[in-house]
C-alpha cells in the first residue's frame, strides 16, 4: 500500500462547514494527488502536488484547496462543504516520477448533509 | 486532450470463463497505461502497467493486457475468471504529456456467476 494513510475514513458534515481530509505517506514520494470518485465518473483529479508548497489544480478543483507543508502530508480542504461534494476521496502517490505508477490510499467517504 | 474510454459499464461472466475488458485512450504520444482493480470499500490496486517495450504485459492475479497502438487500445484479459475477481476495473493513462496527472476511465464492473 506504499505507506499511505487517509484520515478520517468516514465523515458526515453539515452544509457550509469546512472540512479537512488528511493524506499521510511514509516514503517521501514527491508527487501526491487527491481524487474524488463518483458513480459514472470514475476518478477525477482535484489537486495535485509535486513537492512541498508546490501544488496545482486538477479537473474539478472548484470549492477545494490543498496544502503541503511537509513531504509526507497532503491536506485537502473543503472551504464550505456542499451536498455536491458528497463523494469518496482518494489520495494517491506517484512512484518514480509523475504519472509513472500511482498507489492509492483506502479512501475517505464524505457525506455532506 | 487526453481521455480514456471504457465502453462496458458492466460485464457478467461465469466462473472459469475467459474475460476481456476494453479500454481505449486518446493521447498525443506514447502513453503510460495502467489497469487498476477496486474491491468494494477498498482503494485501487495496480494490476499492471505499460510504459514501453513488449506490448503484451503481465500483471498480478493472472491478468494480462495488450497495447495496440493502431487501435489506441489497452484491453485487459484473463483466461479463466475466479469468483474473487468480481470488482470494479479502471483503465488509466499517464505520461509526460498529461500535465502531471493520470486520466481514468469510468470503470467496468465485473460480476462473476458460479
Mean pLDDT check: name the lowest of A59-63, A95-99, B3-7, B109-113.
A95-99
Q: Which 3 state secondary structure label does DSSP give A69?
A: strand
Q: Could you tell me which residues come within 8 angstroms of residue A79 by beta carbon, excluding any fewer than 6 positions away?
A: A18, A63, A64, A65
What's the Cα-to-Cα distance from A13 to each of A16, A18, A65, A78, rounded to whole Å?
9, 9, 17, 11
B-facing residues of A in 60-89 (CB < 8 A) are none
DSSP label of B80: S
Q: Which residues of A touch B106 (CB under 8 A)?
A: 40-42
Closest-CA residue of chain A to B8: A40
Residues making up chain A, counted from first to last? 113
* B3 has a pLDDT exceeding 90: no
- Residues B14-25: tens digit of each pLDDT: 999 999 999 999
Per the model's pLDDT, the better-predicted residue between A93 and B99 turns out to be: A93
Q: Which 3 state secondary structure label does DSSP give B88?
A: strand
Q: How confident is the model at residue B56 (pLDDT cuts 50, 70, 90)?
A: very high
Mean pLDDT of chain B: 91
The chain B residues in contact with chain A (CB within 8 A) are 4, 32, 34, 36, 41-46, 49, 51, 90, 92, 94-96, 98, 100-102, 104-107
Q: Over its length of 113 residues, how does chain A's per-residue pLDDT go in tens digits? A: 568 999 999 999 999 999 999 999 998 899 999 999 998 888 999 999 989 999 999 989 999 999 999 999 999 999 999 999 999 999 999 887 666 788 999 999 999 99
Question: Chain B contact for A44, CB < 8 A?
Answer: yes
Instruction: Give pLDDT, residue B37.
Output: 97
Instruction: Give pLDDT, residue A1.
Output: 54
Instruction: Give pLDDT, residue B96.
Output: 66
Cis-peptide into A8, omega within 30 deg: yes
User: Residue A106 in contact with residue B42, Cβ under 8 Å?
Assistant: yes
Mean pLDDT check: name the lowest of A46-55, A92-101, B41-50, B66-75.
A92-101
Amino acid at each position: 500500500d506504499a505507506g499511505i494513510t487517509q484520515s478520517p475514513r468516514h465523515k458526515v458534515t453539515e452544509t457550509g462547514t469546512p472540512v479537512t481530509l488528511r493524506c499521510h505517506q511514509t516514503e517521501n514520494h514527491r508527487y501526491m494527488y487527491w481524487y474524488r470518485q463518483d458513480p459514472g465518473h470514475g476518478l477525477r483529479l482535484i489537486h495535485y502536488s509535486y513537492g512541498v508548497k508546490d501544488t496545482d489544480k486538477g479537473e474539478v478543483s472548484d470549492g477545494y484547496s490543498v496544502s503541503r507543508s511537509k513531504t509526507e502530508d497532503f491536506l485537502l480542504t473543503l472551504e464550505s462543504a456542499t451536498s455536491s461534494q458528497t463523494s469518496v476521496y482518494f489520495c494517491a502517490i506517484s512512484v518514480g516520477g509523475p504519472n509513472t505508477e500511482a498507489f492509492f490510499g483506502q479512501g475517505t467517504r464524505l457525506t455532506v448533509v | 486532450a487526453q481521455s480514456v474510454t471504457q465502453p462496458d459499464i458492466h460485464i457478467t461472466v461465469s466462473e472459469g470463463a475467459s474475460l476481456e475488458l476494453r479500454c481505449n485512450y486518446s493521447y498525443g504520444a506514447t502513453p503510460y497505461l495502467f489497469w487498476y482493480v477496486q474491491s468494494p470499500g477498498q482503494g485501487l490496486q495496480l494490476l499492471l502497467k505499460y510504459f514501453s517495450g513488449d506490448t503484451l504485459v503481465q500483471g498480478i492475479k493472472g491478468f494480462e493486457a495488450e497495447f495496440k497502438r493502431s487501435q489506441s487500445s489497452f484491453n485487459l484479459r484473463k483466461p479463466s475468471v475466479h469468483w474473487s475477481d468480481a470488482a470494479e476495473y479502471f483503465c488509466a493513462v499517464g505520461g509526460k504529456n498529461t500535465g502531471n496527472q493520470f486520466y481514468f476511465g469510468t470503470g467496468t464492473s465485473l460480476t462473476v456467476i458460479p
